[in-house]
Amino acid sequence: MVDWKLPGVPMRHAALMCALLLAGCDDAVPGPIGGLILVIEPTPWDDGRGGPHAAVEDIERIELNTVEIEAIVDGEHITLDTATREVVIDAGGRETLVAQYQVPVGMLEQIRVFVDHVDVVLNDSTSEQLDRNSQLPSWKQSGWKLTLEDPIEIIEDELSGMRVDFDFDVEVLHNNGQGFKLQPTTPAYSLDVNPLPGQAGIFADQITVWFDEITTPQEVDQINDPVGVRVLVPPLNSQVWRLKLPPTMNLEQAADYYRAQPEVNRVLPSINYAYNALPSEASGAGITRELESINADNLWDERGRFSDVASRDVVVAIVDCGIDLRSSEFLGSIHINSDEIPPATLAAVDLDQNGRVTWQELNQPGNFDPGVPCRESDQMSNQPKAAFGVFDRPNRFNQCNGVIDAMDLAGGEGEDWYDKEDTDGNGFSDDLFGYDAADQGPPQTDTDVCQHGTAVAGIVAARPDNGIGVAGVAHGVTLLPIKISDAEGAASDVFEAEAYRYIDEVKPDIVVMSYSQTIASANADLRCAHGSDDGFSKGVEAARYDVEVAIDLATFADQGSATPDQNLNLIRERLGADGRTLYVVAAGNERLFLPKLEFEGNAPTSGVYQAPGLLLQHLLPDQTLLVGATNRRATDRITSSNSGDAVDIWAPGRWTNYLGDDDLFSGHTDGTSFAAPVIAGHAAIVLTDQPQHLGSASNVRDAVLDASGVVHVDTSCPGRGEIYDADVPFVDMVGHL
């Protein structure tokens, strides 16, 4: 027998952990084990098929009273569970989680389900209990056989998934006028329980835990070790940890366990965010219609088409998968943290000795001689400040642009600029030109691992006067890159937490967040969600069982040792205590109707939760703008854009051309990702024209909305009672003319 009264684990948590183990807690699966999530995915009856199944539409659900679950692994029969459970198969199409099991390492071929009885519940609330002798004879002898088309490899300490394809038109039969009977064998397939590398979604075997500020790594280990949890991603500054669960613990048990620890502030599902852009067909048309629809071209003509329309004093942070520092579209636009420059280098390049360095200063005689070629190392050494890493470096095509830019300084080796020291004492080493929260260091020369952040930054601030690429809405502003993606392009919630800490430290004026993850509880109305006829939101490419299984919002929403209000206040204090920063967030591309976030107890009343947009809007309503996307001409929304009461303002989200790798254009693209930077550019121009609002995000937000026009948005959803069809705020630069 396994002793589950572990040190530091309250008895009620030990009992929870036993609930999904082999035969309760009395036995253990022999040898090394992995985990298996078993999900039944029903397909509702289809009256178009006709045939012998014509009365299946009378069924509301099937209830199985299971008494034993058995697995066949490498030809051996292994008992997984002997607890009595009720498993419901919903004729409406909603997935059912059977359980999470320990399974021996090997090739899983089949699961067998043994039942005490099966009830067929009809739409009129009457039910029929199937007789095991006459209606389920095979089930009685050898169980309900869930047979995999291809065996699943069970890997030690890893979680796998198995999806049962229960088609009501196939699996439910008529029993010669004597009610129903069920097929003895049903097909099953493997199920990805976690997002694939580089993809968005929710993890079934990981959680994100926010510990309090004084908890040490050793204390985190003392909490993790008794239940076999290990650290996947430790924080640098944020105290937000990504934890890997053992196969013996599911998400609900983990949330319950960590929520009971006094050192824990919040327990959240582990999320990789989706960047809110959808590739579309290539097109040769120009970019002017997007700019014309917001009157940006008129503003440029008024101020001088090739002059800066926004102030360099306005700092716009791009929280994304990075910005390509090689791009000539950002010459002179990338933020320089002069306080982080190593002292010897600063003293050498600070020509006016004011303690600050600008791109203009770095390109002045005395720092740089543009007449010296860059391709030969001995010629580089002839440049004035080459000894301090100031020279025009060739890009990967062995080409130079004749100026000093962030690529040149970030691409060097040695300690001239990056000395691995936190020179300014802000807790972030080498944050000269922004911060890489994924690698916990400085951005490198080509940090845009998914070619998304560069496009977002280009819409904000690309130069109009260089004859290439695109022109940004607010060219002239300063860009602060904050990278939250790993090398495969996945934007993690843990990296986002590091980004929040950095934002709290540097306090940019505007933050652009063109990513999101939408989570829905089982009872949420998701009809018309993007990419699915039956209403489950597939736009974020998360496993479908996430909706019901992995995410119980009452489990995760704002709970911990503190009350929900206290936990929310912790975030408010971190992100908005001084009221300086305006957060401009993409509304997302799931085609959902988003109500504003309201809580009943600890769970959103709508059953829909979205981070970061709805959460920031709830916490910092005066500092957040949630942005929906219209078409290029601003005549209606793009099909994929989320809408609803939570969307504050709209902007063009379909761009014919956008900034990509090496200043190239890449077809055209749709998404709220590219509407949010339009609004950020608008806000930057507000701050340029009304500098008295610097430091007051609330005033900037009001000014943006006051200067906006209107656009008609139709988000009607066939088959759903409500229709959202209204005139809504739309970005318009005419107020700046």
Would you call 121 exposed, middle or buried from its count of C-beta atoms within 10 A (0-12, 13-18, 19+)? Answer: middle
Q: Are 118 and 182 in contact (CB under 8 A)?
A: yes
The residue among 191, 214, 240 that closes a domain is: 191
Tokens of 49: 């098929």
Q: Pick the closest to residue 239 from 427, 49, 12 (CA basis).
A: 427
In a domain, 22, yes or no: yes
Residues 628-661 pLDDT 10s: 988 777 777 777 888 888 899 988 877 655 555 5
Q: Are 329 and 477 in contact (CB under 8 A)?
A: no
* 293 vs 188, residue with greater confidence: 188
What is the spatial distance between Cα 18 and Cα 35, in angstroms, rounded to a whole number?
A: 14
Confidence (pTM): 0.82
In a domain, 369, yes or no: yes
Tokens of 386: 């080459």
* Residue 153: alpha-carbon gap to chain centroid: 28
Judged against a pLDDT cut of 70, whether residue 289 lies above it is answered with no
Q: Are 728 and 650 in contact (CB under 8 A)?
A: yes
Give the residue carrying structure tokens 């029903």.
42
* 282 vs 458, residue with greater confidence: 458
User: Which whole-number Å values give the CA distances from 136 to 29, 56, 493, 705, in the listed order?
Assistant: 29, 17, 48, 65
What DSSP designation does 294 have?
T
What average pLDDT does this structure show over 361-390? 75
Residues 472-490 pLDDT 10s: 888 889 999 999 988 777 8
Q: How far apart are the first and last CA of the chain?
A: 78
In a domain, 252, yes or no: no
Judged against a pLDDT cut of 50, whether residue 247 lies above it is answered with yes
Residue 293 is predicted with a pLDDT of: 64
Structural domains in the chain (count):
2
In a domain, 487, yes or no: no
Residue 535 is predicted with a pLDDT of: 31
Judged against a pLDDT cut of 90, whether residue 77 lies above it is answered with yes
What is the spatial distance between Cα 403 and Cα 405, in angstroms, rounded to a whole number?
A: 6
Residues 527-565 pLDDT 10s: 555 443 333 333 332 333 333 333 333 334 443 333 444
* % of the chain beyond a pLDDT of 70: 71
In degrees, to the nearest 5, what angle opens at C-alpha 297 toward C-alphas 713 and 659? 80
Tokens of 278: 């959808």
In degrees, to the nearest 5, what angle opens at C-alpha 330 toward C-alphas 351 and 706? 110
The residue among 404, 430, 456 that closes a domain is: 430
Q: Pick the closest to residue 636 from 293, 297, 295 (CA basis).
A: 293
Q: Pick the closest to residue 735 from 712, 704, 707 (CA basis).
A: 707
Give the confidence band of 599 by pLDDT, cuts at 50, 70, 90: low
Residue 51 is predicted with a pLDDT of: 45
Q: Please state the φ and ψ torsions of residue 344, each to the nearest 5 degrees.
A: -65, -40
Measured on CA atoms in the order 445, 449, 450, 456, is the torsion positive or negative? negative
In degrees to the nearest 10, what's the CA dihedral of 619, 620, 624, 626?
20
In a domain, 182, yes or no: yes
Q: Are 321 and 277 in contact (CB under 8 A)?
A: no
Q: Alpha-carbon Rg of the chain, whole angstroms?
A: 29
Would you call 597 exposed, middle or buried from its count of C-beta atoms within 10 A (0-12, 13-18, 19+)? Answer: buried
Judged against a pLDDT cut of 60, whether residue 14 lies above it is answered with no
Would you call 178 exposed, middle or buried from its count of C-beta atoms within 10 A (0-12, 13-18, 19+)? Answer: exposed
What average pLDDT does this structure show over 199-226? 89
Q: Are 510 and 681 in contact (CB under 8 A)?
A: no
CB atoms within 10 A of CB 73: 20
Residues 150-178 pLDDT 10s: 999 999 999 999 999 998 888 888 777 67
Q: Pick the closest to residue 647 from 582, 599, 581, 715 (CA basis).
A: 715
Give the confidence band of 55 by pLDDT, cuts at 50, 70, 90: low
Beta strands in 493-559 (DSSP E): 510-513, 515-520
Show the domain range for 346. Answer: 337-430
Q: Pick the closest to residue 675 from 715, 628, 714 (CA basis).
A: 628
Ramachandran quadrant class, 467 (left: phi over 0; alpha: psi -120 to 50; beta: rest) = left
Residues 81-126 pLDDT 10s: 999 999 999 887 777 778 889 999 999 999 999 999 899 998 888 8
DSSP per-residue codes, 568-637: HHHHHHHHHTTS-PEEEEE--SS--B-PPP-EETTEETTSEEEETHHHHHHH-GGGEEEEEEE-TTSSSB
In a domain, 221, yes or no: no
Q: Are 192 and 162 in contact (CB under 8 A)?
A: no
Q: Are 436 and 315 in contact (CB under 8 A)?
A: no
Residues 403-426 pLDDT 10s: 888 877 866 555 678 888 889 998
What is the spatial distance between Cα 378 and Cα 332, in angstroms, rounded to a whole number?
A: 27
Give the confidence band of 65 by pLDDT, cuts at 50, 70, 90: very high
What average pLDDT does this structure show over 352-361? 92
Judged against a pLDDT cut of 50, whether residue 438 lies above it is answered with yes
Q: Which residues pair with 40 in a beta bridge?
A: 96, 164
Q: Pick the closest to residue 556 from 521, 504, 509, 512 (CA basis).
A: 521
What is the spatial distance between Cα 377 and Cα 88, in angstroms, rounded to a whole number?
A: 71
* % of the chain beyond a pLDDT of 90: 26
What is the spatial distance between Cα 61 and Cα 725, in angstroms, rounded to a whole number?
A: 36
What DSSP designation does 643 have?
B
Give the residue carrying structure tokens 């198995």.
162
Q: Please state the φ and ψ torsions of residue 491, each to the nearest 5 degrees.
A: -95, 110
Q: Which residues pair with 76 in a beta bridge?
A: 73
In a domain, 406, yes or no: yes
DSSP per-residue codes, 252-287: HHHHHHHHT-TTEEEEEEEEEEEES-EE-------S
In a domain, 142, yes or no: yes
Judged against a pLDDT cut of 90, whether residue 44 lies above it is answered with no
Q: Are 484 and 320 in contact (CB under 8 A)?
A: yes
What is the spatial distance between Cα 514 and Cα 446, in angstroms, rounded to a whole number?
A: 19
Q: Please state the φ and ψ torsions of residue 148, each to the nearest 5 degrees.
A: -75, 135
Give the confidence band of 725 by pLDDT, cuts at 50, 70, 90: low
Q: Pick the closest to residue 471 from 602, 714, 307 (CA basis).
A: 307
The residue among 430, 453, 477 that closes a domain is: 430
